[in-house]
Amino acid sequence: MALTPSFIGVQIFNGLVWGMVLGLIALGLSVIFGMLDVVNFAQGTMYTIGAYCGYSIILSFVFLLGSGQGGLCVALVVAPLVVALLSIIIEVYLLRPIYSWGHVYHIMLTFGLALIGTEVVRLIYGSTPMSFPTPGIFKGVVSVGSIYYPKYRLFVFVLTVVILAIVWLFLDRTKYGTIVRAGIEDAEMVNILGINIKRLFSLVFGFGAALSGVAGVLGGPILGSIQPDIGEHMGIYTFIIVVMGGLGSLSGAIVGAILLGLVKSVMEMIWAPASNVTMFILMAVILVIRPQGLMGKR
Amino acid sequence: MKPTKSALKSVGIFCICLVTLLFVFRLSEGMAEDKVVISLIEDLSGAWAVEGGVWGRGIAMAVEDVGGKVLGKPVEVVTRDDELKPDVAVRKFREVVEQYHPVVVISGSMSAVQLAMQQVAAETKTLFWTGGWADDLTRAGTVNRYTFRWTANDYAKANSSIPFFIEKNPKVKTFYHITSDYVWGRGMFDAGKQVIEKMGGKVVGNILTPLAEVDYSGAVTAALSANADAVVLNQYGNPLVKCARTVHEFGLKNKSKILLPGCSLDLIRGIGAEALEGMFAGQDWYHTVDNKFSREFVSRYVKKYKESPSYVVMIAYMSAKLTLDAIKRTGSTDPNKVICALEGYKYEGPTGPETIQGFDHQVNKKWLLGVGKSPKEMKDPDDFLTIIGGLARFETHQENPVVWNLTLPCDKK
């Protein structure tokens, strides 16, 4: 295939869009690990729940109003809130009692929750993949010369950049963000300073999961359809990202996500069948050269 | 040394348990012998689960046709999930054979799974109706005498649909393929490429996509860049739904004609009318086919399930129906006799006159081509396609020189 500048440009942008969606999930995972020291294997399932919530909301709008347009806006608010609420309940009643037990138990619990979450979604919605509609206002392509690009993917890129900017501003410029960052550095010190660390943990866990929920709503029209095990695929990509970027590093999550998206899209130009396995090879190389990840601390 | 009382007691309990187990085993075998079991092993939870659920409906309708009984015995359908994995499918096949001794195993998930199951069919001497499309399933060197296929193979799909497609689109000269990287995808590409080149066309590129791919933007961007007159999506199941929707999302339909070699109604519902509009989709059968067989079948199905049947339902129905009819004709469930009854059998089927080819057990029938309607043209929620025609072009015995390694009584005739 001819590697024209327009083809390369579009392909790289595809990688960036995909990377940004994954970056939301990875950021959530990094925040949770950084603050709570919990490797959340259910992060991919939070994506699934967010996607199905979003799907249900958009379809309700189509059924009631004849159009799914307003549905996306509502879904982007409601679906993450639902995911956050569910996650807070899980944190309070299931995770909190076992924080001191160690990573193995955290992994077993969150892995089990991932399986349960997938099967509950399957019970409610069935195994049949559901087509996720693209909102009417974002249907179609933008054409610049010989380049065609879907409007929806442009919207997703812009929105994820805005969301990440808001998250960064919150963490960097607000009092509560400072508390979260301090908690990531040293949760015990934050506790000693009189801050309600239990409430903070719950809110951070909910926040991290909510980012996955947002990704689920945004990613639905990109993938075209959703099925109960979509979270497993996204979870695998997410773990590659955080390992590459550095577990617990917020900037590492974003850098890792962009890197993964670009590597995948570049390999698709060179040799598409190797696009998935290349991500694992890259992860292994980074682990060998820099075990703490690109932005992680030793 | 004299045995102690407790040792005697233990031996006694062991013997009682052993006798009970033997009795129960014999009883369960006897129970199995009182039924005729059809086994369905299909993907009910993986990437093809969108079709998995409807296979059972087709078989249920075939069982209804015989009043739920054959040779005076009730017909039972046993279903298992192969999870779209060859190793799981093989294990489940062996399990159902050991437990239920089915007269036939019917399956239709991806070709890699079918090829694995085909070997177990020969090993266990069990009749096997496959819904897989790979040519190898009925090809010399791999096919065995227990395997039958109603759905058209890749050779027939390519040789029936591509000439029709080119006839309807005479300006199409160059083709680009987006191919799923596994047995069937590669086979479909090879079959298609041969026909395209035979007809004077040119394949300008082929991008292989992993079976577990979730985002097809890269592949579709490559297809856009190729500037081909036509793009062929050698994909199936949920990957086809995602790929076709991404094709629509990127506006590739505005530049190239799109051909889906095979796309059941279940998948078409996932793709949606807006995305499918103008795309060409190959069909084993379609619910608007106008003949007595199809009209009666569709009427019964709609009454029962409140939606139109896809060709997947028909594959399951015909696989079960032809087997049950053969059992009735021979008066026996002996697989050797049933095989003899099936080979060369001619009948009036859902696509018109059909024949079970004796030399490779492939059913010779029409493969149809449809084009997606616009949403405004649809008369009902399932009215997605206009069928523009069909051809029946299968390999001859000369082209596919199958030699059976199993001799049957009917060979002496």
Q: Which residue has the higher pLDDT, A6 or B398?
A: B398
pTM of the model: 0.84
Contact (Cβ atoms closer than 8 angstroms) between residue B309 and residue B284? no
Looking at the DSSP bridge assignments, the partners of residue B75 are: B36
Give the pLDDT band of residue B378 (cuts 50, 70, 90).
Answer: very high
- The reported pLDDT for the residue numbered B24 is 57
Average pLDDT, chain B: 91
Whether residue B289 is predicted with pLDDT greater than 90 in this model: the reply is yes
Q: Which residue has the higher pLDDT, B250 or A248?
A: B250
- Partners of residue B312 in chain A, C-beta under 8 Å: none
Mean pLDDT over B57-82 rounds to 96
Under an 8 A CB cutoff, do A152 and B50 touch?
A: no
Residue B32: pLDDT over 90: no
Chain A CB contacts of B212 below 8 Å: 233, 276
* pLDDT greater at residue A232 or residue B59: B59
Measured between CB atoms, does B211 come within 8 Å of chain A?
Answer: no
Q: What is the pLDDT of residue B53?
A: 79
B53 interaction partners in chain A (CB closer than 8 Å): 126-128
Dihedral, B319, B320, B325, B326 alpha carbons, nearest 10? 60
Averaged over B244-261, what is the pLDDT?
Answer: 94
- On the question of pLDDT at B29 being above 50, the answer is no
CA distance B162 to B220: 21
pLDDT of residue B137: 94
pLDDT for the residue numbered B23: 56
DSSP B191-243: HHHHHHHHTT-EEEEEEEE-TT----HHHHHHHHHHT-SEEEEE--SHHHHHH
Check B242 against A224: CB less than 8 A apart.
yes
In this predicted structure, which of A165-174, A199-208, B22-31 has the lowest mean pLDDT?
Answer: B22-31
Per-residue pLDDT at B279:
97
**Quick one: pLDDT band at residue B31, thresholds 50, 70, 90?**
very low
Angle at the Cα of A246 from the Cα atoms of A244 and A249, rounded to 5 degrees:
135
- Is B174 within 8 Å of B410 (Cβ atoms)? no
| Distance (Å, whole) CA B91 – CA B98 | 11
Distance CA A253, CA A242 (A): 5
Is there a contact between B219 and A276 if contact means CB atoms under 8 Å apart? no
Q: Which of residues 170-189 of B touch A (CB under 8 A)?
A: 181
Spell out the residues 6+ positions from residue A114 whose beta carbon is closer than 8 angstroms to its own.
Answer: A41, A42, A44, A45, A231, A232, A235
Q: Give every CB contact of residue B247 below 8 A, 6+ residues apart in sequence.
A: B216, B220, B223, B231, B233, B253, B258, B275, B279
Pick B331 or A272 by higher pLDDT. B331
- Residue A4 with chain B: CB contacts under 8 Å: 225
Structural tokens at position A42: 């259910």
CA B86 – CA B82 distance, rounded (Å): 7
Closest CA to A210 of A76, A70, A39: A76
For residue B38, the surrounding DSSP H or E stretch is strand B36-42
Residues of A in contact with B272 (CB under 8 A): 131, 133
CA-to-CA distance for A107 and A104, rounded, in angstroms? Answer: 5
Task: Check if A273 contacts B (Cβ < 8 Å).
Answer: yes
Nearest CA to B277 out of B268, B285, B286 is that of: B268
Of B209, B238, B241, the CB nearest to A272: B209
Which among B258, B279, B176, B185 has a CA at the least distance from the CA of B223?
B176
Interface mutation vs chain A, best among B179, B225, B271, most A CBs within 10 Å: B225
Q: Which of residues 83-142 of A touch B (CB under 8 A)?
A: 122, 126-131, 133-134, 140-141
A48 touches chain B (CB under 8 A): no
How near does any CA of chain B get to the CA of A55, in Å? 14
Token code pair at residue A274: 């190797």
- pLDDT number for residue A297: 73
Instruction: List CB contacts (< 8 A) between A2 and chain B.
Output: 225-226
Phi and psi at residue B165, to the nearest 5°: -60, -45
- Asked if the C-beta of B241 comes within 8 angstroms of chain A's C-beta atoms, the answer is yes
| % pLDDT > 70, chain B | 94
Percentages (nearest 5) of helix, strand, coil residues in chain B: 45, 20, 35
When the pLDDT of each residue in chain A is averaged and rounded to a whole number, the result is 89
Residue A99's Cβ-count burial label (10 Å; 0-12, 13-18, 19+) is middle
pLDDT, average across residues B268-291:
94
Predicted confidence at residue B238, as pLDDT, reads: 86
ipTM of the complex: 0.84
CA distances to A71, B133, B340, B407 from B412, rounded to whole Å, are 70, 31, 11, 9
Average pLDDT over residues B208-231: 92
Of A2, A17, A227, the CB nearest to B225: A2
B169 pLDDT higher than 60: yes
State what percent of residues in chain B have pLDDT above 90.
78
Provide CATH code, domain B155-283+367-391: 3.40.50.2300
Q: Of B225, B251, B254, which has the smallest distance from its Cβ to A1's Cβ?
A: B225
A215: distance to nearest CA of chain B, Å? Answer: 14
Instruction: Output phi, psi for A111, to 5 deg.
Output: -65, -45
CA B76 to chain A, closest CA, distance in angstroms equals: 25
Q: Residue A227's closest chain B neighbor by CA?
A: B47
pLDDT at A62 over 90: no
* pLDDT number for residue B30: 42
The 10s digit of each residue's pLDDT in A131-173 is: 888 888 888 898 887 778 999 999 999 999 999 999 989 888 8
Taking only the tens place, the pLDDT of each residue in A216-226 is 999 999 988 88
Return the CATH number of the domain spanning residue range B32-152+290-364: 3.40.50.2300
SS3 content of chain A, % helix, strand, coil (to 5): 80, 5, 15
Nearest CB to A14; choose among B208, B212, B221: B221
Tokens (6 digits) for B5: 């009382």
Residue B33 has pLDDT above 60, yes or no: no
B217/A18 touch (CB, cutoff 8 Å), yes or no: yes
B119 in A contact zone (CB under 8 Å): no
Flag if B238 and A227 touch (Cβ within 8 Å).
yes
Contact A230 B214 (CB under 8 A): yes
Interface with B, mutate which of A218, A222, A260 (most B CBs under 10 A)? A222
| Residue among A237, A222, A247, A32 at smallest CA distance from A131 | A222
- A152 inside 8 A of chain B by CB: yes
The residues spanned by each domain of chain B are: 32-152+290-364, 155-283+367-391
User: What's the pLDDT at A34?
Assistant: 85
Q: What percent of chain A has pLDDT over 90?
A: 53
Same topology between domain B32-152+290-364 and domain B155-283+367-391? yes
Query: Bridge partners of A143?
Result: A148
Reduced to 3 states, what is the DSSP secondary structure of residue B149? Answer: strand
Distance from the Cα of A65 to chain B's closest Cα (Å) equals 18
Average pLDDT over residues B184-198: 94
Distance CA B71, CA A170 (A): 75
- The answer to whether residue A276 scores a pLDDT higher than 90 is no
What per-residue confidence (pLDDT) applies to A137?
A: 85
pLDDT higher than 80, residue B413: no
> Is it the case that residue B1 has pLDDT exceeding 70?
no
Longest dimension (CA), chain A: 62
